[in-house]
Chain A
Amino acid sequence: MIELKSVIKTFSNGVEALINVTLHVGKEEFIFLVGPSGAGKTTLMKMLYREEIPSSGQVVVDRINVTKLAEDQIPFLRRNIGVVFQDYKLLPRRTVYENVAFALQVTGAPRSQIRRRTMQALELVGMLKRAKSFPSELSGGEKQKTCIARAIVNNPLILLADEPTGNLDPQTSWDIMELLDKINRRKTTVVVATHNKNIVDGMRKRVVVIEGGRITRDQQLGTYSQE
């Protein structure tokens, strides 16, 4: 599903964010990306939905060479990738329902589908009863659930979550992780970047460690730190 081959990313200011990264993630996998701040986790994720372009190497998503993708094809790549952020990026003037439906509307989805699929996504994350609330009226966990609903409403092949629990208390963090696991079980590839040791150690998923732009460890049923 995700294939990185010798990816190097050097920013224009000379920072080498990724150095010779090669990684394969299969269709039904759930992986944690861990590593110190500034290691290159976010940069790696941005390569997948073409917000950044590698300086060299190849990025392939769902057999599509993202590196060589024409500008006007990018939207269609992104419809296959849901993204969840630490700071949610919800639209403040829209309700929970509208925030989620928005992701369908802007892809030109037929009106008949928008309502049904939005409701399904809200149901899945457990936000149906808060559908009419505005983001300012939600707790952090509820905001993140809304953000996840928006990311999956399009039925993407891949869900990327960049520190999804960064602003949440431990219990809520676990709720979010269970939700991501549930989504993974519905055959969506899930990639989670996190600094949360307890969660990584508790979930025992594949762990990919990045340090200074290089992959230094790739472990099935892994832990946050090397034992």
Chain B
Amino acid sequence: MSTFSNLEFFVVEAFRGIGRSPLMSFVAIGIVTVTLTIFGFFMLGVINLGNVVSTMGAKLDITSYVNKDLSNRDAAELEVRLKKIDGVEKVNYYSKDDSWKDFKEEYSGKLELGEVVSENPLPNTFAIKVRSPEILPNVAAAISKIEEIDEVRYSGKLISQVQNLVEAVRLAGFVFVFLLFFATLLIVVNTIRLTVLARETDIYIMRLVGATSSFVRWPFVIEGIVIGVGGGVFAVLLLRATYETLAFKVSAAFPFLPVVTDSFLLSMVFAAVGITGAMLGMIGGYISVSRLLKNA
């Protein structure tokens, strides 16, 4: 009962505070919205880039070709040597005859190959799976040292480039978002401090008649939460609308790009944005009244 009437008191006081400097509160909500929107886009960006990497990573193959004819024994021996290379997980061998048969089967009826090429032009192929994307270049280099291998191909260069990009974006993003949070926190603190200063007598009286520090703090913390959650709600609305249009347009323009549309994952991002807003406001409210409580 008593906790409930306390809560009511805190909430009423919090809204009185907002009502006392409505413009400033509005500005603070706006700034929190901007910050959280940027934060949200940053998270969505990192998630999408990560998704691109893992989709590409699923095709972690090195293909190596041997042009000259191989006997079955030669091929088996080569396969053993390839398997011995550090980081190789699996090796599949496709002889040039098998490949040619597959090829002809696949394209029979579509192309009159017999008229164009009479002889099998395909090489013998070893498809090699490696354990993780980072070691692709090293494994590829080791494979190309084998004399019989004529050519080595892998898509690892792009993958590692994208991966480096993701790392860079993540790092820069963290620093940027951190600074942004800091600046926003300052604005929230100063907004609520206006209320605190306007209520110096209230706080003095509260302390005089024996209100505990936490009791004095709560209305300001709640004021902060209202500002933070307000900003969070606007940011989520903004993010949802923009991301949905953007995702749709990107998918339409670049169908091969795997855009994240998993609604659970997106809900998690939006929830994170909202919670971050609430935290930001809460911390802001807490700090804003601290100085006054200390020297009382």
Chain A interface residues toward B at CB < 8 A? 49, 72, 75-79, 82-83, 89, 91, 93, 102-103, 105-112, 114, 150, 154
CB contacts (< 8 Å) of B1 on chain A: these are: 110-112
Report how far A105 CA is from B205 CA in the complex, Å: 12
Given contacts A72-B212, A107-B209, 14 further A-B contacts (CB under 8 A): A75-B207, A75-B212, A76-B210, A78-B207, A78-B209, A78-B210, A79-B209, A89-B205, A103-B209, A105-B6, A105-B9, A106-B215, A107-B211, A111-B5
Given the known inter-chain contacts A103-B205, A108-B215, please indicate yes or no for A75 contacting B210, CB distance below 8 A.
Answer: yes
Contact in complex: A79, B210 (CB < 8 Å): yes
Distance from B255 Cβ to chain A, minimum over Cβ atoms (Å): 62
**Does B246 reach chain A (CB closer than 8 Å)?**
no
Chain B interface residues toward A at CB < 8 A? 1-2, 4-6, 9, 16, 201-202, 204-213, 215-216
Contact in complex: A154, B209 (CB < 8 Å): yes
Report how far A82 CA is from B205 CA in the complex, Å: 11
Q: Across the A-B interface, give the 9 residue pairs with the lowest CB-CB distance, nearest first.
A: A79-B210, A106-B211, A78-B210, A111-B5, A103-B209, A75-B210, A110-B2, A106-B206, A75-B212
Distance from A56 Cβ to chain B, minimum over Cβ atoms (Å): 22
Q: Which of A72, A91, A109, A154 contacts B205 (CB 8 A)?
A: A91
| A-B pairs with beta carbons under 8 Å apart, 12 shown | A75-B207, A75-B210, A75-B211, A78-B208, A78-B210, A89-B201, A102-B209, A107-B209, A108-B215, A109-B2, A111-B4, A150-B205
- Which of chain A's residues has its CB closest to B20's CB? A93
Report how far A108 CA is from B210 CA in the complex, Å: 10
Contact in complex: B210, A107 (CB < 8 Å): yes
Report how far A111 CA is from B2 CA in the complex, Å: 6
DSSP class of B's interface residues: helix, strand, loop or mixed? helix
CB contacts (< 8 Å) of A75 on chain B: these are: 207, 210-213
- Which of chain A's residues has its CB closest to B9's CB? A105
CB contacts (< 8 Å) of A111 on chain B: these are: 1-2, 4-5
- Which of chain A's residues has its CB closest to B206's CB? A106
Count chain B CB atoms within 10 A of each CB in A72, A76, A105, A112 and give the residue with the most: A105
Contact in complex: A91, B202 (CB < 8 Å): yes
CB contacts (< 8 Å) of B9 on chain A: these are: 105-106
Report how far A110 CA is from B5 CA in the complex, Å: 7
Contact in complex: B2, A108 (CB < 8 Å): yes
Report how far A105 CA is from B206 CA in the complex, Å: 9
Count chain B CB atoms within 10 A of each CB in A75, A77, A103 and give the residue with the most: A75
CB contacts (< 8 Å) of B2 on chain A: these are: 108-111
Report how far A93 CA is from B20 CA in the complex, Å: 11
Report how far A91 CA is from B200 CA in the complex, Å: 10
- Which of chain A's residues has its CB closest to B16's CB? A93
Report how far A93 CA is from B195 CA in the complex, Å: 14
CB contacts (< 8 Å) of B211 on chain A: these are: 75, 106-107
CB contacts (< 8 Å) of A82 on chain B: these are: 209
Report how far A75 CA is from B296 CA in the complex, Å: 12
CB contacts (< 8 Å) of A93 on chain B: these are: 16
